[in-house]
Structure 1
Amino acid sequence: MIPFVRELAFKYGRPDRVSPLIRRVIAQNPGPFTFTGTGAHVVGHGEVAIVDPGPDDPRQVEAILKATRGERITHIFVTHNHLDHSPAARPLAERTGAVIYSGTTYCRPSGGGDRLEAGDDLAFRPDVALSDGQTFRGPGWTVEAVATPGHTSNHYAFALLEENALFPGDCVMGWSTSVVSPPDGDMGLYMRSLERIRARRYDALFPAHGPPIRRVDSFLAAYIVHRRQREKQILLALETGGPATVRQLAARLYADTDERLHPAACHSVLAHLLDLYRRGVIDLAGEIGMRGLWRPLFMRHAA
């Protein structure tokens, strides 16, 4: 079982100190995919950086400006261009003169009837595209860009070196598992990103949604095991229940899950299926995607 962390004391618009160098301001965009809302993290004192400023909401921009009154925002780091993370970056930069940093703008947008609530911010453009290992400095703080593709192809996390802490964006969330949504999301890359984060032995994770994660290694170990178990469940469902579409598999595997999350479940199931298919573990009849009929490899020549 994943040791989720869901207890969170906060007030919208109020900056809460979560470590000596980090303050958090939560946006007013609660929902089934965002928990209480997107947490914008303020790094440092005097000259500060913002990680994931949040949605297109003037209240969030004003709350961040109020939280940093008397200081100067120099850097804005965006983990990925989803509508709950990146839209506030540009208006905040225009008000402060800060430079926006993120991964490449290219992504293959999700769509169709299973489009997720937190969709793609296709208008987002950073001022500077990141490269893995790139570092940035301010008074008393150093931030390293850590490539963590999988949730999206251009996802980056940001390490605060002075505290051996990581802002994992949506790669890791304390309150829930993360959605991996093809075609831009990739389960194989996502699993490698989780392993990479775990190998770096951070002391704390500060996700964009939910409370900080302090017991990092045990949490990530359970996070990884959960995904591997889900993979085994999908294989078992195909072997025992026969060929199935993504929606049929999701209905079997997520029968006890809030129906509002079923579209996300379909995307994660598809991501697992695509990874298994590329690894030669399962086969497919029909088109790659939600409508295809997925089946165990040994059924390739059946019927």
Structure 2
Amino acid sequence: MSEQLPGVPETLEPLVVRVLAGNASPYTYTGTQTYLVGASDLAVIDPGPEDAAHLQAMLAVIAGRPLRAIVITHTHRDHSPGARALHAATGAPIIGCAPLALDDNAPRADASFDHDYAPDRILADGEFISGVGWTLTAIATPGHTSNHLCFALPETGALFSGDHVMGWSTSIVSPPDGDMGDYIRSLEKLQSRDDRIYYPGHGDPVDNPKRLVRGMIGHRKQREGQILRLLREKPRGVPAMVERMYVGIDPRLFPAAERSVLAHLIDLAQRGLAMAEGDIWSPLAEANV
């Protein structure tokens, strides 16, 4: 990834400025990326965690211009909590995904849920907000979370992909809210579009999104096949599968990998291809690879 420092604004195109939050971790890569969209008036997409330095960095870019909306893709704690302080500082409404609060602190690609998120307006698929020379259209993309939205900027062909498509890693799908079937269907939905570039919540811009999304769908299908082959060898628990499937990754990421494998297994069970007895999973007879 190109070098980027927390709090230092970077103009990606005339209508888009990126500001990195200082919350780098094994689950957030270099940190959460906030995007400011517009010129004479603005929207802020994903203001990040509660962080005073990041708030000041956003306000420095806003520089007194009207802030039309604080836009939220989903409510993991590295994306939405910063909305409250930004709203207090500017009066801008919080607009975007629906609230979601689960008592699920399992490891995932980012933080757990923001229980205090309270939007002024919820956007459904296809609804939009706009300002001078810009429009942000909501695209429902459940899977990483059930309330996840991407936002298209039709004036430039850009899409803000949140954590549904990231520029450094595949997204973790963590049950009970994360749903692998929904995630793959949402990828297929994006694959059918003609967006020019993706600006993700983590990682570099994606300048060939169709190729990346096609590869991500293929990756999930490969993981599914790998799981079924392991189960056909013998019934297994999730940790034993992860040990075989994720050779060479940072051990700190094993808990998150277990969540993705579990999401695949739940999807396979819903399709009649696998079943669980306690913590041990087995294939059903028709689960041929």
TM bucket normalised to smaller: over 0.9
State the superposition RMSD in angstroms.
1.6
Matches within 5 A, 1:122-141: 122-141=115-134
Counting matched residue pairs gives: 287
Q: Is the 8 A contact 1:107 1:153 kept in 2?
A: no
Q: Which structure 2 segments of 5+ residues have no match? A: none
Can you list the C-alpha shifts for 1:23-42, whole angstroms capped at 9, x where unaligned?
Answer: 00000000111111111000
| Distance of 1:181 and 1:116 partners within structure 2 | 9
Identity %: 45
Name segments (4+ residues, structure 1) moved above 4 Å: 114-117
Q: Is the 8 A contact 2:28 2:110 kept in 1?
A: no
Can you list the C-alpha shifts for 1:3-61, whole angstroms capped at 9, x where unaligned?
Answer: xxxx2232221110111210000000001111111110000012100011101111111
Where 2:24 maps in the other structure, the secondary structure is coil
Shift of 1:115: 6.6
Task: Pick one of 11, 14, 21 that aligns with 2:5.
Answer: 11
Matches within 5 A, 1:1-303: 7-111=1-105, 114=107, 118-240=111-233, 242-286=234-278, 292-298=279-285
| Aligned amino acid, residue 202 of structure 1 | D
| Aligned amino acid, residue 276 of structure 1 | L
| Distance of 1:102 and 1:142 partners within structure 2 | 13
| Distance of 1:107 and 1:252 partners within structure 2 | 33
| Distance of 1:116 and 1:196 partners within structure 2 | 22
Q: Is the 8 A contact 1:107 1:154 kept in 2?
A: no
Q: Is the 8 A contact 1:107 1:152 kept in 2?
A: no
| Distance of 2:110 and 2:76 partners within structure 1 | 10
Shift of 1:227: 0.7
Judging changes above 3 Å, is the alpha-carbon distance between structure 1 residues 139 and 117 closer, same or farther for their aligned structure 2 residues? closer
Can you list the C-alpha shifts for 1:53-84, whole angstroms capped at 9, x where unaligned?
Answer: 10111111110001111312110111111010
Can you list the C-alpha shifts for 1:176-196, whole angstroms capped at 9, x where unaligned?
Answer: 110000000000000011011
Q: Is the 8 A contact 1:46 1:70 kept in 2?
A: no
| Distance of 1:64 and 1:83 partners within structure 2 | 18
Shift of 1:231: 0.6
Q: Is the 8 A contact 1:203 1:214 kept in 2?
A: yes
Can you list the C-alpha shifts for 1:238-277, whole angstroms capped at 9, x where unaligned?
Answer: 112x111111211221131111111110100000000000
Which has the higher mean CA deviation after the structures are superposed, 33-42 or 115-124? 115-124
Shift of 1:117: 5.4
TM-score, L = length of structure 2: 0.96
TM-score, L = length of structure 1: 0.91
Q: Is the 8 A contact 1:156 1:169 kept in 2?
A: yes
Where 1:162 maps in the other structure, the secondary structure is coil
Where 1:284 maps in the other structure, the secondary structure is strand
| Distance of 1:222 and 1:90 partners within structure 2 | 36
| Distance of 1:162 and 1:299 partners within structure 2 | 48
| Distance of 2:85 and 2:255 partners within structure 1 | 31
Q: Is the 8 A contact 1:205 1:214 kept in 2?
A: yes
Judging changes above 3 Å, is the alpha-carbon distance between structure 1 residues 129 and 178 closer, same or farther for their aligned structure 2 residues? same
Q: Which structure 1 segments of 5+ residues have no match? A: 1-6, 287-291
| Distance of 1:131 and 1:78 partners within structure 2 | 13
